[in-house]
DNA sequence: ACTTGGCACTCGGGAACACTGAGTGCCAGA
DNA sequence: TCTGGCACTCAGTGTTCCCGAGTGCCAAGT
């Protein structure tokens, strides 16, 4: 149905359009990519490609522009992910290695990605639910008030102030802390609810009300944060590009929920996901594409990151950058 | 030099221009604001105001537009801060009261402010340096690695991983923690360096190397974070307004350092600060104004927050919103 | 001395218009 | 199946023209 040359034409159209941002005509195309055929032939091929919905013309007597379907084919079959240069890799590595805590890792990552791709970068904080408890801390603040601090093996720290039903002496708190840690240390967060239920029963009668309060806050913390935190950077890269509805995109970026879905709803693997234009779930983003990947330490995916840009983006380069950054972040998180 | 009526004309020009976004002419002005004089008179006054630099015309045969100097006079002498409605106040209060931790307070605040003013809101995290230590926690992670967690009375939590020079048993860590807390609890962060120096000398010989490592990280944490974290929201409100250089503004917003200076370099009081157009220190923001205020729990200012919008903004309303939000955030922080 | 109506002047912006040129579709010939 | 040739289309640009909002200035009125 689409012979080799027609695919080459499509590839050429995409590449030229991406680099010039102008509809590409048969003549220019035949010249720049030495296809070995005349413009007239290219025109015929283009007519076919248009009929099949891979390209379109903004108006009669203009060049052709790829459609979402055209980009899709390009990404799936006509292009190869372009690896970063050695220099870029080194720069990434040293930049990320300088991070002092989780917040810093995420902030640096999102900026890095934005700068690297010259687009909007989006990074989700590592999910709590897939990580494990490293430590639980109870800090007395006042007679009937303590602070609960939860530290995970991904370096994340959650804190909550807890108002207690009774006055509790410090050493009972200390004891409770010891018990909690004995039970929960190393426990996968997804398993915490069961473990906690067990624990509850094994406590002495007198400690139960206090423990119940604390534990309910602990559980709440886990559930609450199921809607994960997401940050973005590089919005300035959108300015000056009128092919996207700027206002709508900015609005979407500030909606955690939308962003969440964009990155891919807990996708199967850590593989690269590309959503092109109308393929993505939010109508305000009809003119934009998202390239995302999962990242994690070791084999389990912790969260996702990606970039968002006009559908007319350089997919091979962008995909290369996203993949590379995802890998490095994974390494950094594993090492800390 | 400027009689009463000329001031009234200036006020009218500002108000009309803000609400219509179009240069305002003498006729329309004389009609809408019942000044009791004819357009011709208004013209004369306008000519004077223009000569003095308070207003200007984009081109001959167009109406007048306020200059930065004109807005300045308007803000200083011709307008009153407009308080929020009771309904708005209540909405703010309940919205902010729902926050669960410091992060949440800040996030909610910045969104609230953006929505309230329909502009870009900017909020600085409460400064570490003016708060006090509530608790220091040392959590063993591995044989030669611990996590240092610092909790302040403003609810902020800082954490750092520390690599130790020696293997240290858990109970020596526990002891160190106890000593640290005894010394530092309630200590103003600005005093921590001295206190730590003292402490160092009173420790048993054997603990010194380990303690030194930990304490140096602790100090570093305080210093490092002297460049404070700042977040913004509502960038979408900028879209569609071409009077500001969108790209430049977005770039400025992503530069912590620039934002920092915009909010006012540790200004004297918690009073409202207004920076109009070219008054502000960054050339990319020539078309924008910043309304900022300090906020804090009790009497000491912890940090600043504000909004950024086109110079052509509704100053009375914006100032009212910023002032109100600053107050409420202060209250919330004091209460938690 | 200030205010007012009148009047000539300026100039941005919109409508009408023609022109140019890139790009197309189609056809006949190789 | 490819190619050159040719007529056609139409977005974008430049030109011209005109309208009207708004101004500045002046002379007359209070």
DSSP code string of A57-102 = -SSTTS-BEE-HHHHHHIIIII----PPPHHHHHHHHHHHHT--SH
- List CB contacts of A311: < 8 A, sequence separation 6 or more: A68, A71, A243, A276, A277, A287, A288, A289
3-class secondary structure, A134? strand
Q: Are strands A145-152 and A133-142 parallel, antiparallel or unpaired?
A: antiparallel
Q: Taking a C-beta distance cutoff of 8 angstroms, is the pair A321, A113 a contact?
A: yes
Q: CATH number of the domain that A62 lies in?
A: 1.10.10.10
Max CA distance (Å), chain A: 90
Residues of A in contact with B253 (CB under 8 A): 235-236
The secondary structure of residue B127, as a DSSP letter, is P
Q: Taking a C-beta distance cutoff of 8 angstroms, is the pair A137, A151 a contact?
A: yes
Residues A51 and A55: their CA atoms lie apart, in Å, by 8
- C-alpha dihedral (A179, A181, A182, A186), degrees to nearest 10: 160
Residues B28 and B15: their CA atoms lie apart, in Å, by 13
Of A197, A224, A251, the last residue of a domain is A224
Q: What pLDDT, on a 0 to 100 scale, did the predictor assign at position A90?
A: 95
Q: Are strands B55-56 and B65-66 parallel, antiparallel or unpaired?
A: antiparallel
- C-alpha dihedral (A3, A5, A11, A16), degrees to nearest 10: -150
Mean pLDDT of A74-96: 95
Nucleotide C3 C1' to residue B48 CA (A): 16
Same domain, yes or no, for A264 and A203?
no
Of B184, B207, B224, the last residue of a domain is B224
Identify nearest nucleotide to residue B50 by CA to C1′ distance: D23
Same domain, yes or no, for A250 and A120?
yes
Q: What is the pLDDT of residues B265-309, one digit of tens each?
A: 655 566 899 999 999 888 889 899 999 999 987 667 778 999 999
Same domain, yes or no, for A238 and A329?
yes
Mean pLDDT of B121-125: 94
Same domain, yes or no, for B22 and B138?
no
Mean pLDDT of A36-53: 93
Mean pLDDT of A174-181: 86
Which of A100, A151, A161 faces B147 most closely, judged by CB atoms?
A151
Domain that holds residue A269: 86-127+228-334
User: Between chains, do B161 and A139 touch, taking CB under 8 Å as contact?
Assistant: no
* Token duo for residue A237: 């890269």
How many domains are contained in chain B?
A: 3
User: Between chains, do B135 and A139 touch, taking CB under 8 Å as contact?
Assistant: yes
Which among A112, A114, A152, A254 is the top mutation candidate for probing chain B, defined by the most B β-carbons within 10 Å of its own β-carbon? A254
Q: Quick one: closest CA in B to A221, which residue?
A: B100
Which of B101, B236, B254 faces A254 most closely, judged by CB atoms?
B236
Task: Among A38-52, A303-317, B76-90, B231-245, name the one with the lowest average pLDDT.
Answer: B231-245
User: Between chains, do B254 and A246 touch, taking CB under 8 Å as contact?
Assistant: no
Nucleotide D21 C1' to residue B109 CA (A): 45
Q: How far apart are the first and last CA of chain B?
A: 53
pTM of the model: 0.87
* Token duo for residue B156: 């902020």
- Average pLDDT of chain B? 88
Task: Among A4-18, B83-97, B232-246, name the one with the lowest average pLDDT.
Answer: B232-246
- What residues are paired with A159 via a beta bridge? A149
Q: Taking a C-beta distance cutoff of 8 angstroms, is the pair A151, A126 a contact?
A: no
Percentage of chain A modeled with pLDDT above 70: 96
Q: Taking a C-beta distance cutoff of 8 angstroms, is the pair B284, B252 a contact?
A: yes
User: Between chains, do B161 and A224 touch, taking CB under 8 Å as contact?
Assistant: no
Residues B218 and B292: their CA atoms lie apart, in Å, by 32
Same domain, yes or no, for B121 and B166?
no
Residue whose structure tokens are 């290219």: A42
Q: What pLDDT, on a 0 to 100 scale, did the predictor assign at position B249?
A: 93
User: Between chains, do B239 and A233 touch, taking CB under 8 Å as contact?
Assistant: no
Residues B148 and A303: their CA atoms lie apart, in Å, by 25
The dihedrals phi and psi of A142, each to the nearest 5 degrees, come to -150, -175
Same domain, yes or no, for A161 and A252?
no
Rounded to 5°, the CA angle A146-B151-B192 comes to 135
The answer to whether some atom of strand D lies closer than 7 Å to the beta carbon of B23 is: yes
Q: What is the pLDDT of residues A116-139, one digit of tens each?
A: 999 999 999 887 777 888 888 888
Same domain, yes or no, for B178 and B123?
no
Residues 42-61, chain A: which have Cβ under 7 A from strand C?
43, 46-47, 50, 57, 60-61
């Amino acid at each position: 149905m689409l012979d080799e040359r027609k695919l080459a034409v499509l590839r050429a159209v995409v590449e030229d359009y991406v680099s010039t941002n102008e509809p590409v005509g048969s003549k220019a195309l035949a010249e720049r990519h030495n296809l070995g055929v005349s413009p007239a032939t290219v025109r015929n091929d283009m007519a076919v490609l248009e009929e099949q919905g891979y390209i379109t013309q903004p108006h009669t007597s203009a060049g052709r522009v790829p459609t979402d379907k055209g980009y899709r084919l390009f990404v799936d079959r006509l292009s190869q992910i372009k690896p970063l240069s050695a220099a870029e890799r080194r720069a990434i590595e040293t930049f990320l290695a300088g991070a002092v805590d989780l917040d810093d890792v995420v902030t640096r990552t999102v900026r890095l990605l934005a700068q690297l791709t010259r687009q909007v970068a989006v990074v989700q904080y590592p999910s709590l639910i897939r990580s494990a408890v490293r430590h639980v801390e109870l800090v007395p603040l006042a007679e009937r008030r303590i602070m609960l601090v939860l530290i995970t093996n991904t370096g994340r720290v959650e804190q909550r102030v807890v108002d207690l039903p009774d006055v509790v002496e410090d050493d009972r708190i200390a004891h409770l802390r010891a018990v909690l840690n004995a039970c929960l240390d190393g426990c996968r967060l997804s398993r915490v609810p069961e473990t906690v239920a067990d624990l509850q029963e094994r406590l002495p009668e007198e400690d139960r009300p206090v423990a119940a309060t604390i534990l309910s806050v602990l559980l709440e913390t886990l559930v609450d944060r199921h809607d994960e935190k997401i940050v973005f950077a590089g919005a300035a890269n959108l300015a000056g590009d009128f092919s996207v509805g700027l206002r709508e995109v900015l609005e979407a970026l500030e909606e955690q929920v939308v962003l969440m879905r964009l990155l891919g709803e807990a996708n199967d693997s850590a593989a690269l996901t590309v959503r092109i234009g109308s393929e993505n779930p939010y109508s305000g983003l009809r003119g934009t594409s998202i390239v995302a990947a999962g990242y994690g330490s070791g084999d389990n995916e912790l969260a996702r990151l990606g970039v968002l840009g006009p559908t007319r983006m350089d997919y091979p380069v962008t995909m290369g950058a996203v993949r590379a950054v995802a890998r490095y972040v994974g390494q950094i998180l594993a090492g800390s």
